[in-house]
Structure 1
Amino acid sequence: MKKAFLFAAAIAAIATACNTTPEAAEATTAEKQEAAAAAGASFAIDTTASAVEWLGSKPVGQHNGTFKITNGNFSIADGNIAAGNFTIDINSLNNHDLKAGEGKEKLEGHLKSADFFDAAKYPTAKFEITGVEPIANDSSATHKISGNLTLKDSTKNVSFPAKVAIADNKVSATASFNIDRTQWGMFYGNDKSLGDKMIRPEVNIKLNINANKL
């Protein structure tokens, strides 16, 4: 009996852990800032090799997926990112954990609705770099990137750690961080009184950006 109880407790603990927002850096949020000026060599983002991943969670479940990047670029000067931006196609939102005909279409439609991204009115989102600072003695990140993130009709400046690799002809940047969606006016379902039906305001964002020299 004791073993059965411990086994059940372990399963419950695992299930609870799987339904929390991933452990990641909390992006610092501030008001919109001036975009960094382009300088140096230009690199075009490879939209076929780049993506924005998302993960949202509730006390009893979570969903994850991707957005496509439609265009973007980096400016590289003196071996560092000087400026850059990319555009996200909100209508490309794709859920990865549900199958077609088993809730996938319903979830995607809801996330694109006015409750969340309002894709019909705001079909794109944009990130525009305002600053890049090197990080020393950190195995998980090489730089702190700051930029204006525009979602719907709101623009906030966010700062987060990232791994950046710069070569002669290629640039790559990866990051994982959490943002509070209510900062961009997405309040649907974030009331704790909803219990298990509450949708956490924290959303995990993963960036995987690759660019080639023009």
Structure 2
Amino acid sequence: MSRSSLGVSLGVAVSMFLSGCSGCSKDPNEGQPAATVGEAVETATAPTGKPTAVPTTPAGTDAGPGDAGATTDASATAEAKPPEELALSPATGSILFTGSKVGGSHDGSFKKFTGTLTLVPDAIENSKVSVDIDLASVSTDNGKLTDHLKSEDFFNVAKFTKATFRSTSIKPVATMKGATHTITGNLDFHGVKKSLSFPANITVTDDKVTASAQFSMNRKTFNVAFDGETDYLIKDLVFVRVTVNAPRKK
């Protein structure tokens, strides 16, 4: 097999990160929401779990915050639940992807990743997500493809050993089908750092936190492209899927 034809076969799943649909001719990105990409932003400070105490002044007075008439919502502060640190790993979730080319697709995943969900139980939007992905742990449904993805042609895992994601905001949404929140964060991958926003469905119960996200993203945003004449046969969009099923500490 020539290098050219091998590049087409192996480059299919390069269309970067995270989800699944094997060998289907239909574009797996069809009908999926597209991630929004922008310039990386400063990471917000760690959540405290403590609501801000707001001074209040009885009606009809001009007492300042330091006056006897000023009060604070002490009860709310006292009852606020502290943040919880939940571990993220292949034991509590998955990072999957599907890359496509003309006539087919390949599934892949990352077998090694670590991270933390800093959960603020009373205010999910104040929670934080941090994930480190071992790029050498990439695995696909084709052994030769897996090896090629690790090479300098694509992920170049010898130089770029990991990808990182640090959330900067988690905002509730009410009108998006299948999603409860929009997660935004800085994705540092393949030497490129960008802000990435995508929809997610997040559920918090007394026992666990479950979350799922699926979206399409453009591999070329992160300079993941096969340097050959056959790269045009590989679709730029990659179908991404992430799941979390993290138990809470009793």
User: What interval of TM-score do these two structures reach, taking the shorter chain for normalisation?
Assistant: 0.7 to 0.9
Counterpart mapping for 1:43-192 below 5 A:
43-77=86-120, 78-81=122-125, 82-96=127-141, 104-188=142-226
Question: 3-state DSSP class of the match of 1:188?
Answer: coil
Please tell me the residue identity of whatever aligns with 1:44.
Answer: A
Question: 3-state DSSP class of the match of 1:106?
Answer: helix
Report the aligned-residue RMSD: 2.2
Indicate yes or no: 2:29 matched with 1:22: yes
Unpaired runs of at least 5, structure 1: 1-15, 97-103
Q: Structure 2 CA distance, aligned partners of 1:132 and 1:55?
A: 25
Q: Structure 2 CA distance, aligned partners of 1:76 and 1:206?
A: 21
User: 1:171-206 CA deviation, whole Å, 9 max, x = no partner?
Assistant: 121111111111111122697xx49x6111111110
Unpaired runs of at least 5, structure 2: 1-22, 48-82
- CA distance 1:117–1:21, change in 2 (3 Å): same
Question: Which structure is richer in relative contact order (CA contacts within 8 A, separation 6 or more)?
Answer: 2
Q: TM-score, normalised by structure 2?
A: 0.69
**1:107 Cα deviation from its structure 2 partner:** 0.7
Q: TM-score, normalised by structure 1?
A: 0.80
Larger radius of gyration, structure 1 or 2? 2
1:41 paired residue among 84, 90, 95:
84
Moved over 3 A (4+): none
Q: Structure 2 CA distance, aligned partners of 1:122 and 1:53?
A: 19
Contact kept in structure 1, 2:25 and 2:103, CA below 8 Å:
no
Higher strand share: 1
- CA distance 1:155–1:68, change in 2 (3 Å): same
Question: 3-state DSSP class of the match of 1:25?
Answer: coil
**1:17 Cα deviation from its structure 2 partner:** 7.2
Number of aligned residue pairs:
189
Q: Structure 2 CA distance, aligned partners of 1:17 and 1:90?
A: 25
